[in-house]
Amino acid sequence: MDTPAASHTFASPLKLANLPTIAPEREALAKWLDYHRAELLAKLDGLTDAQAAQRVVPSLTTLHGLVRHLTKVEFFWFARVIAQSEEPAPFGWPERQDGDFLLDDGTTLAEDIDRYVATCERSREIFAKVSLEDVRTHHRLGDLDVRWIMIHMIEEYARHNGHADIIRELIDGTTQS
């Protein structure tokens, strides 16, 4: 018999929006990033918690783990680097390597989705307060501007959304265009 968590199916709280083909740089970067945020959650539509946590590749990568990973990535780039916050990162990072992918802390998919959505909202608020030309220092990369961070975030999501496509297809055969 399925447990309630195993039989619950996910429906994304974020909706894919049409992307502008002509827009000012700041708006275009923000909308592309929001598009990729919504696309990540769309990969989970209709899955149970158990399916979202299912490992179908040799690594620790799961759809649930990707949501947690991108929560950590959002936090790192927006809260830590742009806003220069010293608050602890989610999932015990950096002390706990792969804590975002381990899924061993008892957190449900719904709880992690709520954290993800809240983290994305916080990232939007942080981005609204800075200029694309503002410079921040990364511990390894050195100085970089907010524009670079936005482009990097779009690249990060595009890569992981590609992973999510493959994982979803391996779970239940679903493909998206």
* Res. 30: pLDDT tops 50: yes
Q: Determine the pLDDT at residue 112.
A: 97
Using a 10 angstrom Cβ sphere, with 0-12 exposed, 13-18 middle and 19 or more buried, the burial of residue 13 is exposed
Angle 122-128-134 from CA coordinates, rounded to 5°: 110
Lowest mean pLDDT among 94-98, 128-132, 147-151: 94-98
Q: Could you give the percent of the chain with pLDDT greater than 90?
A: 88
Q: Determine the pLDDT at residue 14.
A: 87
Dist. CA 172–CA 102, nearest whole Å: 22
- Asked if CATH classification 2.60.40.10 holds for the domain at 19-172, the reply, yes or no, is no
Handedness of CA 50, 74, 35, 111 (dihedral sign): positive
Tell me the CA distances in angstroms from 27 to 22, 111, 131, one per residue in order. Answer: 10, 30, 12
pLDDT in tens, 11-20: 888 888 889 9
- Which of residues 28 and 16 earns the better pLDDT score? 28
Q: Determine the pLDDT at residue 177.
A: 53
Q: Determine the pLDDT at residue 5.
A: 45
Average pLDDT over residues 117-137: 98
* Res. 90: pLDDT tops 80: yes
Q: Determine the pLDDT at residue 176.
A: 77
pLDDT in tens, 129-140: 999 999 999 999
Domain ranges of the chain: 19-172
